[in-house]
Amino acid sequence: SQPPPKHRLFGTASHTYGGMGGEPGDQEPSPASARRHVLLLCSPCMGHLIPFAELARRLVADHGLAATLLFAAATDAPSEQYAALAASVPDGVDLVALPAPPADALPPSTPVRERVVHAALSAVPHVRDIAGSLTSTAPLAALVVDMASVPARDVATELGVPCYMFFTSPWMLLSLFLHLPELDAGLVGEYRDATEPIRLPGCVPIHARELPGAMLADRSSETYAGFLSLAKDAARVDGILVNTFRELEPAVGQGGTDCVKDMPVHAIGPLVWTRPVGVNREPEHARLITWLDQQARGSVVFLSFGSGGTLTRRQTTELALALEATGRPFIWAAKRPHEDTADGAFFGTGRGGDDDDDPLGFLPRGFVERTAGVGLVLLSWAPQTAILGHAAVGCFVTHCGWNSSLEGILNGVPMVAWPLYAEQKMNAAMLEAYAGVAARLNAAGPGNGNGFVCKEEIVSVIRRVMDGEEAAMMRRRVGELRDRATHALAMDGSSTLALAKVTALWKSSTSRDEK
Residues 240-297: pLDDT tens digits? 999 999 999 988 765 444 567 678 999 999 999 877 655 556 788 889 999 999 999 9
Do 231 and 375 sit in the same domain of this protein? no
What residue type is 371 in one-letter code? Answer: T
The whole-number average pLDDT for the span 462-480 is 98
The whole-number average pLDDT for the span 45-51 is 92
Do 335 and 380 sit in the same domain of this protein? yes
Chain centroid, CA 424 distance in Å: 11
pLDDT at 111: 86
The whole-number average pLDDT for the span 449-475 is 94
pLDDT at 89: 86
Do 48 and 101 sit in the same domain of this protein? yes
Do 324 and 230 sit in the same domain of this protein? no
pLDDT per residue over 142-161, tens digit each? 999 999 999 999 999 999 99
CA distance 335 to 318: 14
Do 293 and 374 sit in the same domain of this protein? yes
Neighbour tally for 479: CB within 10 Å:
15
Do 321 and 187 sit in the same domain of this protein? no
Q: Is residue 232 part of a domain?
A: yes
Task: Provide the CATH number for the domain around residue 175.
Answer: 3.40.50.2000
CA distance 81 to 380: 9
Nearest 10 degrees: Cα torsion 229, 230, 235, 240: -170
Q: What are the C-alpha distances in Å from 509 to residues 31, 142, 263, 278?
A: 21, 9, 19, 37
pLDDT at 83: 83
Q: Is residue 2 part of a domain?
A: no
Nearest 10 degrees: Cα torsion 230, 236, 238, 244: 10
Check pLDDT > 90 for residue 341: no
Q: Is residue 5 part of a domain?
A: no
pLDDT per residue over 64-78, tens digit each? 999 999 999 998 877
Do 200 and 292 sit in the same domain of this protein? no
Q: What are the C-alpha distances in Å from 197 to residues 9, 181, 207, 209?
A: 46, 17, 4, 9
Q: Is residue 127 part of a domain?
A: yes
| 148 DSSP assignment | T
State the DSSP string of 204-260.
--B-GGGS-HHHHS-TTSHHHHHHHHHHHHGGGSSEEEES--TTTSTTTTGGG--EE
Do 97 and 227 sit in the same domain of this protein? yes
pLDDT at 204: 85
Which residue, among 338, 328, 371, has the nearest Cα to 461 in the 3D structure? 328
Do 96 and 233 sit in the same domain of this protein? yes
Q: Which helix (H) or strand (E) holds 297?
A: none
Q: Is residue 30 part of a domain?
A: no
Q: Is residue 66 part of a domain?
A: yes
Which residue, among 239, 48, 15, 51, has the nearest Cα to 142 in the 3D structure? 239
The count of structural domains within the chain is 2
Neighbour tally for 178: CB within 10 Å:
22
Q: Is residue 12 part of a domain?
A: no
pLDDT at 444: 67
pLDDT at 373: 86
* pLDDT band per the 50, 70, 90 thresholds, residue 22: very low
Do 263 and 301 sit in the same domain of this protein? no
Beta-bridged to residue 145, according to DSSP, are 41, 165
Do 407 and 441 sit in the same domain of this protein? yes
pLDDT per residue over 75-104, tens digit each? 887 777 788 888 888 888 999 999 999 989
Q: Looking at per-residue confidence, does 47 or 472 come out higher?
A: 472
The whole-number average pLDDT for the span 431-451 is 83
What percent of the chain has a predicted confidence (pLDDT) above 70? 85
Q: Is residue 26 part of a domain?
A: no
pLDDT per residue over 317-333, tens digit each? 999 999 999 999 999 99
pLDDT per residue over 98-141, tens digit each? 999 998 999 988 888 899 999 999 999 999 999 999 999 889 99
Tell me which residues are annotated as active site: 48, 146
Do 260 and 300 sit in the same domain of this protein? no
The whole-number average pLDDT for the span 340-348 is 61
Residue span of the structural domain in which 497 resides: 37-273+489-508
